[in-house]
């Protein structure tokens, strides 16, 4: 398997180019094993961590949450928090760990996040967000960015989103990823907030027209690489894809280097990717890890292809067993190769 990694110390211009397509930060999904797997499929796409809270790093000392593999670059750390000083310290930890970007979560609608006064509830406090961003910028040399919603609850997105962007960008923050849905903090669960509030792509396009100097990415409801390319062709600077990239990684990420980044390279082969994961799995197991911690992210590798059901069944039913090892990948591949 060729080395598809992008070197560390990604420059800001290269980072903006990488942000043409990114995989959304998703709690319990985009951990370091998932990101390593996704990097084998696309060498160019920008990857994000799960949200890591600043209290966990600063007060809890949970610096292990920052662990990642060098092959993941370009990779961004997403932080959750609302205390400028604490976020500055957390951002410093992230920069020292070598992350290419520090992103502030202003979009998560969960009850736990609301109770900590961060996430989507911060859409109501653009001045506080600006203070947080400025404190983080003063603490680190890497780029600090924002992922936000178009509004929350009874806010009127056409009014509050431009005001939010104007206030926060006055700090010098140049890059925003906008989830093109409101978040309803009362009445909808986090899962429902990913689907029920209607998408408003035209509003995001209007923000790009109003703030042409900002690098704006769109997130929410984007299911295919072709849809991502179309949104870029319409003038947006970036597209962030979440669940589709996770559940059908080959459909979304496989052709990304060629379609989005104009790389003259063959698309990754899923069988080769599966085998390339075996040394990584071996290293993870030798460090005391469990096989299922890695393979749970690989279940969609052959989604839509012959043998996909066998692949998923073998990994799902056996990866948790005490004696399961990297050779389980070979067993799972047998059904895929037979069906081909």
**Based on C-alpha coordinates, what's the Rg of the chain?**
20
Q: Is the peptide bond before 74 cis (omega within 30 degrees of 0)?
A: yes
Please name every residue paired with 79 in a beta bridge, in sequence order, or none if there are none. 52, 104
Strands (E), the chain: 21-23, 46-53, 75-80, 101-106, 143-149, 175-179, 215-219, 238-241
Q: 46 near 24, Cβ under 8 Å?
A: no
Residue matched to tokens 């084998």: 40
What is the full DSSP assignment across 329-340? HHHHHHHHHHH-
From CA 190, how far away is CA 110, in angstroms rounded?
Answer: 5
First-to-final CA distance of the chain:
20
Annotation says 173 is catalytic: no
Overall residue count recorded for the chain in this entry: 340
Question: Of 108, 132, 173, 254, which residue is the catalytic one?
Answer: 108
List the catalytic residues.
Answer: 108
């Amino acid at each position: 398997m060729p080395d598809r990694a992008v070197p560390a110390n990604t420059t800001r211009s290269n980072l903006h180019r990488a942000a043409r397509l990114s995989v959304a930060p998703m709690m319990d999904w985009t951990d370091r094993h998932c990101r390593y797997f996704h990097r084998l499929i696309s060498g160019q796409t920008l990857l994000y961590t799960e949200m890591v809270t600043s209290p966990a790093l600063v007060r809890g000392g949970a610096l292990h949450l920052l662990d990642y593999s060098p092959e993941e670059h370009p990779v961004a750390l997403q932080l959750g928090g609302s205390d400028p000083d604490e976020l500055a310290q957390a951002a410093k930890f992230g920069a020292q760990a070598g992350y290419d970007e520090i992103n502030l979560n202003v979009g998560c609608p969960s009850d736990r996040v609301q109770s900590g006064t961060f996430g989507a509830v911060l859409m109501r406090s653009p001045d506080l967000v600006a203070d947080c961003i400025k404190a983080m910028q003063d603490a680190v040399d890497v780029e600090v960015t924002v992922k936000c919603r178009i509004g929350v609850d009874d806010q009127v997105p056409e009014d509050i989103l431009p005001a939010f962007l104007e206030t926060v960008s006055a700090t010098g923050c140049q890059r925003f990823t906008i989830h093109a849905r409101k978040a309803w903090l009362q009445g909808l669960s986090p899962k429902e907030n990913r689907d029920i509030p209607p998408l408003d792509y035209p509003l995001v396009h209007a923000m790009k027209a109003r703030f042409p100097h900002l690098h704006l990415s769109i997130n929410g409801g984007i299911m295919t690489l072709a849809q991502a390319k179309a949104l870029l062709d319409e003038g947006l600077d970036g597209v962030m894809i979440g669940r589709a990239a996770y559940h059908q990684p080959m459909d979304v990420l496989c052709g990304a280097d060629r379609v989005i980044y104009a790389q003259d390279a063959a698309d990754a082969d899923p069988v080769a990717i599966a085998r390339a994961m075996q040394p990584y799995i071996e290293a993870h197991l030798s460090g005391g890890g469990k096989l299922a911690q890695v393979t749970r992210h690989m279940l969609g590798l052959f989604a839509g292809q012959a043998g996909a059901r066998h692949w998923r069944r073998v990994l799902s039913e056996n990866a948790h067993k005490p004696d399961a090892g990297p050779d389980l990948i070979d067993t799972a591949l047998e059904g895929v190769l037979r069906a081909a």
